[in-house]
Amino acid sequence: MTDRAWFDAAKGDIPQWAASMPKDADGTTIDWDWVRSLDLAHGVGTIPESTPQSIHDALKADYATREHLESIIAQCNSAFMTDFDRFIGSYRLPRALAYANRRLNDNINTLLHLGEQQHLWAVSRERRGRATIAVLKPYSGSGPSNDDQGMLDLSGEAGGTSAGNTAAENSDVKFPTTVALDDIQDRTAAILDARAERRKAQRFQKRAGDAAMARANLSGATSPGGAALPGGAAASGNATGHHPKPDWRDAYLPGRDVDAVMGIDIETTGIDPARDYIIDVGFEFMNMASPRPAGEPETYAYEQGYYAAGDAYGQSRLAFGVPPENAALGNALIAKLTGIDVRGRSSEAGYRLFDEWPQAQAGLLARLTQQPYVAHNATFEHSWFMLNVAGYAESYRAGRITIIDTLPMSRQWDPGAVPTNEHPYGDNTLDAYAKRQGALDSAHNERHLGLEDSHIMLVAMKHHLAALKAQGKGPWGSTGRAGVGGKSCGRKR
């Protein structure tokens, strides 16, 4: 298919999804006809006239659309991975919805900025529960008519005036004297918190049911006295006497036969794969047990001059762009963290967008399926690949992708990862793990660029595995696994 014909193919999958997923992540019945009506390729945001009420109404409409889209996207992973009859053949539709939602999110941020420019409100970014949200407050240069109702007086008769005149003062159009703020507040945090509470209640019910079954000895006829409750086994402790409890991340631990792997790290414009963009991908290969392949170049110049390639080979650094609307707003936080200024990464400046570049996605997928890939907090990369890389979700479900995570290696097998008040599970950041494993000098910090972070991660992993093998711990301990290990679907290791 050429251009954006894949959006039509994605909509063609709607009957499969509708049959398997009648409700979204919030338990609301999905209006699939509404989904079918969306122009996913060209935008689902509202472009208003430049009047206060029009900007308000556009923002309200965009927030509502984003809430509907994201509640559907949030349910798609569960529906796809539990579709054991393989009725849903493709993950195109969630990728298409996420593509549209990213541009919608840019439109929302543009409207927020436009409202600030016209003194309709002031925006503060605040952490609320599980999300950082945009909180709208009355513009301080005008007198709010009713703080409790979140109303902003635009008549120009109350409060001080600003050197930057409002649109109401520069136009013959008769604007409403107030714009409501209470109905255009970002509800993301409340939605995520409510969703988490429902999941917590469901887990509690399941545990209570399991416990009741065990007490009644109904969970297994071969287990007199009742089956053991989940989580009863203890993980192998470390040298400090700290015994981390097993958790779901342990599925990503490597096995004792792990060898050739690809380390990967991505940099993004935010933390939400349905709202933000991939702007930097770095990966390289390293063998954990066998010799470095002959014939590979022996040196590579990393940005950090004190990094030595060592056993690494096949290094690659990929840069991607953002839409013009996203570039125009800038991203000071990401610029400070990574040194990447998205204002210079616009598609109009010649940068290709990762979610619009099928060849780049196909090339990355080919590498991800060749051997296990390693990431630090790998569920982050995994979530982005699900919504950005064509064919990734299908390959993962089919068992063609194996994921290894160095974060649980740090948490479970590193004696230095002891709990503290600041880090209840130990300091398991890549920076801390790499320093403890001799992959990063204490005088330097994690760079927050894909390739450089991939490199120190793999060096740390190799050092760590060598030490564990010598001690008969980790993969070579009583709870270790044979084989490659890692997380994969469709087969047991």
| Measured distance CA(18)–CA(137) in Å, rounded | 40
Q: At what angle do helices 5-12 and 92-117 cross, to 10 degrees?
A: 120
CA 430 to chain centre: 17
Smallest CA-to-CA distance from 386 within 105, 132, 93 is with 93
Q: What is the 3-state secondary structure (H, E, C) of 190-206?
A: HHHHHHHHHHHHHHHHH
Closest C-alpha among 310, 269, 340 to residue 456: 310
User: Residue 140: what pLDDT?
Assistant: 81
3-state secondary structure of 315: strand
476: exposed, middle or buried (C-beta count within 10 Å: 0-12, 13-18, 19+)? middle
At 141 the pLDDT is 66
| Per-residue pLDDT of the chain in tens (493 residues, 90 and over written 9) | 446 899 999 999 999 999 999 999 999 999 999 999 999 999 999 988 889 999 999 999 999 999 999 999 999 999 999 999 999 999 999 999 999 999 999 999 999 999 999 999 999 999 998 899 999 999 886 443 433 333 434 433 333 333 334 343 444 444 444 689 999 999 999 999 999 999 888 888 888 887 887 778 665 555 444 444 444 444 444 544 567 788 899 999 999 999 999 999 999 999 999 999 999 999 999 999 999 999 888 788 898 888 888 999 999 999 999 999 999 999 999 999 999 999 999 999 999 999 999 999 999 999 999 999 999 999 999 999 999 999 999 999 999 999 999 999 999 999 988 888 888 888 899 999 999 999 998 878 788 899 999 999 999 999 999 999 999 999 999 999 999 999 999 754 4
Six token digits for residue 140:
């301080």
Structure confidence at residue 423 (pLDDT): 84
Query: Using CA of residue 99, residue 101, residue 104, residue 105, what is the dihedral sign?
Result: negative
38, amino acid identity: L
What pLDDT, on the 0 to 100 scale, is given for residue 306? Answer: 85
Of the candidates 48, 47, 66, 166, the residue with the CA atom closest to the CA atom of residue 116: 166
* Residue 427: predicted pLDDT: 87
Q: How far apart are CA 26 and CA 193, in angstroms?
A: 11
Q: What is the pTM of this model?
A: 0.86
Torsion sign across C-alpha atoms 454, 458, 464, 468: positive
What is the predicted pLDDT for the residue at 378?
97
